[in-house]
């Protein structure tokens, strides 16, 4: 399998390494809602979505979910193969947010490549640093930003991803993304509705004033 379109270091591998990696990769299908990786003790392998979308999240001691980042086609999920990252134990869960077709790289194969190839090791270190930067950014948001700003940012970002202003999301789903309680999110959404920012419906939210939500979300929106 030619993985050149997906792996930046592909051209720097030896022919033998490319052949071994190409043989080891398999294609997997994950239906929406499926658990792709079950945490630090799970070593699924490295997952690279070709279509669809994955969500990486933590489960708090109180049983709340907190979305850390999304994975889109072409993104490589390292933490689904934490056993290949030395002593790294990161209890991250990954689920398919949409029906997803993905490539799966077995963890032992990738670990061997990291040990043999400096380009693979450099790529892995950069990607790991980027992911930890995402996590630290989120922690800063939780500690220093109010929920109204984070909720507004979430709605604006979801609208950008969906390509429209009407989102099919329940209050419980939004709460799980933000690591909050459904009741708190419901109260905040009702406040947004009273201010003319959104319109609520059963199982959905429509953005009425995207500019107003963007102003409210200032400082909580990720870089485009």
CATH topology of domain 10-143: Jelly Rolls (2.60.120)
Q: Go through 184-193 and write b for each residue having 16 or more CB atoms within 10 A of its CB, e for each that does not.
A: ebbebbeebe
Q: Which residues contact 127 (CB under 8 A, 6 or more apart)?
A: 76, 78
Q: Residue 176: its pLDDT value, please?
A: 87
Q: Residue 51: its pLDDT value, please?
A: 96
Cβ-in-10-Å burial (0-12, 13-18, 19+) of 151 comes to buried
Average pLDDT over residues 198-210: 93
Q: Residue 66: its pLDDT value, please?
A: 83
* pLDDT greater than 90 at residue 20: yes
Beta bridge partners of 49: 102
Backbone conformation region of residue 103, classed left if phi is above 0, alpha if psi is from -120 to 50, else beta: beta
Question: What band does 180 get if pLDDT is binned at 50, 70 and 90?
Answer: confident
Q: Residue 181: its pLDDT value, please?
A: 85
Q: What is the pTM of this model?
A: 0.70
Q: Residue 54: its pLDDT value, please?
A: 93
pLDDT digits (tens, 9 = 90+) for 28-75: 999 999 999 876 556 778 899 999 999 988 887 777 788 888 899 999
Beta bridge partners of 178: 66
Q: Residue 90: its pLDDT value, please?
A: 64
Q: Which of these, 128, 35, 118, lies nearest to 79 by C-alpha position?
A: 128
Q: What Å distances lie between residue 51 and 16, 25, 163, CA to CA?
A: 28, 16, 17
Residue 106 tokens, joined: 């077995």
DSSP letter at 56 equals E
Residue 88 tokens, joined: 């790294």
Q: Residue 87: its pLDDT value, please?
A: 54
Hey, how many other C-beta atoms are within 10 angstroms of the C-beta on 67?
17
Q: Residue 223: its pLDDT value, please?
A: 58
Beta bridge partners of 47: 77, 104
Mean per-residue pLDDT of the chain = 87
Q: Residue 44: its pLDDT value, please?
A: 75
User: CA–CA separation, 152 vs 150, rounded Å?
Assistant: 5
Domain covering 145-216: architecture: Orthogonal Bundle (1.10)
Q: Residue 186: its pLDDT value, please?
A: 93
Domains 10-143 and 145-216 share a fold: no
Beta strand 65-71 pairing with 26-30: unpaired
Question: What band does 213 get if pLDDT is binned at 50, 70 and 90?
Answer: very high
Report the share of the chain in percent with pLDDT over 70: 92
Residue identified by tokens 């194969």 is 109
Average pLDDT over residues 150-176: 92
Cα–Cα–Cα angle for 98, 33, 104, nearest 5°?
Answer: 70
pLDDT digits (tens, 9 = 90+) for 78-131: 877 666 665 556 678 899 999 999 999 998 899 899 999 999 999 999 988 888
Cα–Cα–Cα angle for 176, 79, 77, nearest 5°?
Answer: 85
Average pLDDT over residues 8-25: 94
Q: Domain-by-domain residue ranges, the chain?
A: 10-143, 145-216
DSSP 3-state of 133: helix
């Amino acid at each position: 399998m030619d993985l050149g379109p997906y792996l930046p270091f592909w051209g720097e591998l030896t022919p033998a390494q490319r052949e071994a990696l190409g043989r080891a990769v398999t294609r997997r299908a994950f239906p929406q809602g499926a658990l792709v990786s079950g945490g630090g003790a799970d070593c699924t392998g490295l997952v690279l979505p070709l279509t669809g979308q994955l969500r990486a999240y933590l489960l708090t001691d109180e049983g709340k979910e907190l979305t850390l980042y999304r994975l889109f086609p072409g993104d490589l999920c390292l933490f689904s193969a934490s056993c290949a990252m030395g002593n790294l134990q990161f209890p991250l869960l990954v689920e398919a947010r949409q029906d997803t077709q993905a490539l799966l790289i077995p963890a032992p194969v990738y670990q061997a490549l990291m040990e043999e190839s400096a380009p693979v090791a450099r790529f892995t270190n950069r990607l790991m640093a980027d992911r930890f930067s995402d996590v630290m950014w989120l922690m800063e948001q939780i500690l220093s930003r109010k929920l109204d700003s984070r909720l507004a940012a979430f709605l604006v970002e979801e609208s950008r991803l969906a390509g429209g202003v009407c989102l099919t999301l329940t209050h419980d789903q939004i709460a799980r993304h933000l690591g909050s309680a459904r009741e708190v999110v419901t109260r905040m959404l009702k406040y947004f509705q009273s201010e003319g920012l959104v319109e609520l419906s059963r199982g959905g939210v429509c953005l009425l004033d995207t500019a107003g939500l963007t102003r409210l979300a200032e400082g909580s929106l990720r870089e485009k």
